[in-house]
């Protein structure tokens, strides 16, 4: 089997990640902050250690990390907390539905409004984008790290720095690419960042989070047990526990700890190998006259979106499956990007490389494309 759906979730993890998960389940197996016995104390220590590690990974010195079950929850936590009546938000046309839908819902509720930077305008200077899209009531600028649909790297340090210098809060959805693109929140002028563990960070599913340059003061998304100040009727004003109601997925959190340590040692090697495969895949696909490759001209991750003339995207995926190749077709929870690329009606076939893919995999995919087309 050739797995090319790593943009959805990375199927293969480093052995250290599986070992960490198994260790927590078998040797620890308790929740942090729920008991003063030795195992409970050890669980709390492991949780704090992972907070610090995640914070450092994204370039902050304090462990200002709220753990959630995924980036979608972290994004909703952030938007519902920070945005107020009458606020205006600027986003890009490559945002995942995890960003679009919470904002659009808040717009329908009459709370906020938002504007979308179109595909061509992303090439404008920060000054030009600011002049065209920012309003007097703009309080937040949000951008994805990279497109989950085409792999185009959207992250723009100069634009983030410019927005923050103008007094606008900045927020990055790093779900796609966090394990491959280096982010230093302090240097890159990122106030808040959402992440998920199971994609490019190579952890197991069930853990994500919100990284904060400064501790938030807004209300939590979920009320419930927090493990501290249990005699209060609502979540206590304690960071980060007050934002983490319910039992945390500590086995997944500890797998994230192992994954980040592995990435710290191996990320540059993985990136270099993936770049070779990506260039080979793009070069061969662009030689085929019946294949459209989207955003091929931009700097990118190892995510390639294509269509084959006369063949529906879901039919391509089904045909690939017969050759033992796992890809994905359709909308990919990225309706804004499809509207920008004019592929809303036909969808896109997405092939996303991972650290376990090889040159033989790429060659097999090219052969399959030729057969299907």
CATH code for position 324: 3.90.1150.10
| Judgement on whether residues 162 and 291 belong to the same structural domain of the protein | no
* Res. 187: pLDDT tops 90: yes
Please state the domain count of the chain.
2
Give CA torsion, residues 308, 313, 314, 319, to 10 deg: 20
Between 90 and 226, name the one with better pLDDT. 90
Whether residue 32 is found in the same domain as residue 150:
yes
Cβ contact 197:257 at 8 Å: no
Reported as half-sphere exposure (CB side, CA atoms, 13 A), residue 136 has a value of: 0
155 and 6 co-located in one domain: no
pLDDT band with cut points at 50, 70 and 90 for residue 373? confident
* Rounded Cα–Cα distance for residues 277 and 353 (Å): 8
Q: Are residues 85 and 178 in the same domain?
A: yes
Given a cut of 90, whether residue 233 has pLDDT beyond it is: yes
Coil vs helix vs strand at 279:
helix
327: left (phi over 0), alpha (psi -120 to 50) or beta: beta
- DSSP string for residues in 260-278: HHHHHHHHHHHHHHHHHHH
Identify the domain boundary among 262, 289, 309. Answer: 262
287 Cα distance to chain centroid? 31
Q: Are residues 332 and 352 in the same domain?
A: yes
Q: What is the pTM of this model?
A: 0.97
Mean per-residue pLDDT over the chain, rounded: 97
- Do residues 129 and 61 share a domain? yes
Residues 154 and 292 in one domain: no
Q: Is the pLDDT of residue 178 over 90?
A: yes
d(CA 38, CA 46) in angstroms, rounded, equals: 12
Which residues, other chains included, contact 35 with Cβ-Cβ below 8 Å and sequence gap of 6+? none
90 with 168, same domain: the answer is yes
Q: What is the CATH number of the domain that holds 100?
A: 3.40.640.10
Instruction: Please say which residue of 262, 286, 317 terminates a domain.
Output: 262
Please count the other Cβ atoms lying within 10 Å of the Cβ belonging to residue 247: 13
Model confidence band, residue 350 (pLDDT cutoffs 50, 70, 90): very high
Name the pLDDT band for 121 (thresholds 50, 70, 90): very high
Q: Taking Cα atoms as reference points, which of 148, 188, 195 lies closest to residue 170?
A: 188
Q: Is 158 exposed, middle or buried (0-12, 13-18, 19+ CB in 10 A)?
A: exposed
Reply yes or no: is the peptide bond before residue 284 cis, omega within 30 of 0: no
Across the range 296-312, mean pLDDT stands at: 97
C-alpha 315/C-alpha 295 separation (Å) is: 22
Q: What percent of the chain has pLDDT over 70?
A: 100
Beta pairing, strands 2-3 & 325-326: parallel
37-60 pLDDT, tens digit per residue, is 999 999 999 999 999 999 999 999
Q: What are phi and psi of 299, to 5 degrees?
A: -60, 140
Neighbours of 203 (CB within 10 A): 31
**In sequence order, which residues have a C-beta less than 8 Å from that of residue 131 and are 6 or more positions away?**
none
Q: Mean pLDDT over residues 98-115, rounded?
A: 98
The DSSP code sequence of 21-88 is HHHIIIII-S-TTS-SSHHHHHHHHHHHHHHHHHHHHTT-SS--EEEESSHHHHHHHHHHHH--TTEE
- pLDDT tens profile 83-103: 999 999 999 999 999 999 999
- Domain end call among 218, 246, 262: 262
User: Residue 139, Cβ neighbours under 10 Å: how many?
Assistant: 17
User: Domain residues for 310?
Assistant: 2-10+267-372
d(CA 21, CA 259): 11
pLDDT in tens, 241-272: 999 999 999 999 999 999 999 999 999 999 99
Same domain, 367 and 242: no
Which candidate, 358, 326, 347, places its Cα nearest to that of 9?
A: 326
The three-point CA angle 110-111-113 to 5° equals 85
Q: How far apart are the C-alpha atoms of 338 and 189, rounded to whole Å?
A: 29
């Amino acid at each position: 089997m050739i797995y090319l759906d790593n943009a959805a979730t990375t199927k293969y993890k480093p052995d250290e990640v599986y070992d960490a998960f198994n260790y927590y389940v078998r040797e620890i197996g308790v929740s942090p902050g729920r008991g003063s016995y030795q195992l409970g104390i050890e669980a709390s220590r492991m949780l704090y250690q992972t907070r610090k590690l995640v914070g450092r990974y994204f370039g902050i010195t304090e462990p200002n990390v709220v753990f959630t079950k995924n980036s979608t929850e972290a994004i909703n936590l952030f938007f519902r907390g920070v945005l107020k009546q009458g606020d205006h938000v600027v986003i890009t046309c490559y945002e995942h539905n995890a960003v679009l839908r919470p904002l659009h819902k808040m717009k329908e509720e009459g709370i906020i409004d938002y504007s979308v930077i179109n595909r061509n305008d992303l090439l404008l200077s920060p000054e030009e984008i600011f002049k065209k899209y920012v309003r007097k009531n703009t309080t937040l600028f949000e951008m994805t790290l990279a497109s989950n649909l085409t792999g185009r790297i959207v992250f723009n340090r100069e634009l983030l720095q410019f927005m923050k210098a103008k007094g606008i809060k900045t927020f990055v959805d790093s779900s796609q690419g966090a394990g491959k693109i280096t982010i230093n929140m302090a240097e890159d002028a990122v106030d808040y960042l959402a992440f998920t563990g199971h994609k490019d960070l190579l952890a197991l599913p069930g853990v994500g989070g919100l990284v904060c340059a400064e501790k938030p003061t807004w209300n939590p998304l979920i009320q419930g047990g927090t493990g501290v100040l249990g005699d209060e009727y609502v979540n206590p004003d304690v960071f980060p526990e007050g934002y983490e109601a319910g039992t945390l997925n500590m086995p997944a959190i500890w797998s994230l700890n192992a994954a980040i340590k592995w990435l710290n040692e191996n990320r540059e090697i993985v990136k270099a190998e993936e770049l070779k495969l990506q260039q080979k895949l793009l070069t061969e696909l662009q030689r085929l006259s019946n294949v459209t490759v989207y955003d091929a001209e931009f700097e990118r991750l190892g995510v390639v979106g294509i269509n084959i003339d006369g063949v529906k995207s879901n039919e391509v995926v089904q045909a690939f499956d017969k050759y033992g190749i796992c890809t994905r077709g359709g909308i990919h929870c990225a309706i804004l990007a499809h509207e920008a690329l004019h592929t809303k009606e036909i969808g896109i076939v997405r092939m996303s490389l991972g650290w376990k893919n090889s040159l033989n995999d790429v060659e097999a995919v090219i052969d399959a494309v030729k057969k299907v087309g």
